[in-house]
Amino acid sequence: MFVLLDDGRLLPIHGPEEAMEPAARALEGELQTPYRAVAVRRDGDNWAVGAVAIEVVELPADTEGEELLLTVTEEGERALEVDGRSTIGGIEVLERAAGGRFDAYVLRAKRLDERLWEIGIDPL
């Protein structure tokens, strides 16, 4: 599994790194970047490749954890979990990443590298 960023960088997530570049070439022109892709060896040199578009945001380098979960309710309550543990810091940075798309939402973020995070935002 890997992520291809807008600037053309390939970020390995896990799995066979030798499949990243050929898989990215196979997907070229099929999907806008950034995207997360999975390559699975079928047999020999034959691979199956699948990808899905993702949203990537930059957060401060001192952002803690590897996975973040921010919940904002219609009543204005906010709860942040860092790697499954409740915390109170860093909510403002994630709210800016959400960009006011919804009044109530759940934002999930997974670290890709030091400053880049893959996010998904679902309305409540």
Distance CA 79, CA 1 (A): 30
Domain that holds residue 43: 2-53
**What pLDDT was estimated at residue 26?**
87
Query: In terms of domains, do 67 and 14 share one?
Result: no
Residue 19 burial (C-beta neighbours within 10 Å; 0-12, 13-18, 19+) = buried
Tens digit of pLDDT for each residue in 12-65?
Answer: 988 767 778 888 888 988 889 999 999 888 888 788 889 999 999 999 999 999
The whole-model pTM stands at: 0.87
pLDDT at 85 over 80: yes
Amino acid at 11: L
Tens digit of pLDDT for each residue in 70-83?
Answer: 999 999 899 999 99
Query: In terms of domains, do 48 and 73 share one?
Result: no
**What pLDDT was estimated at residue 114?**
93
Distance CA 39, CA 50 (A): 7
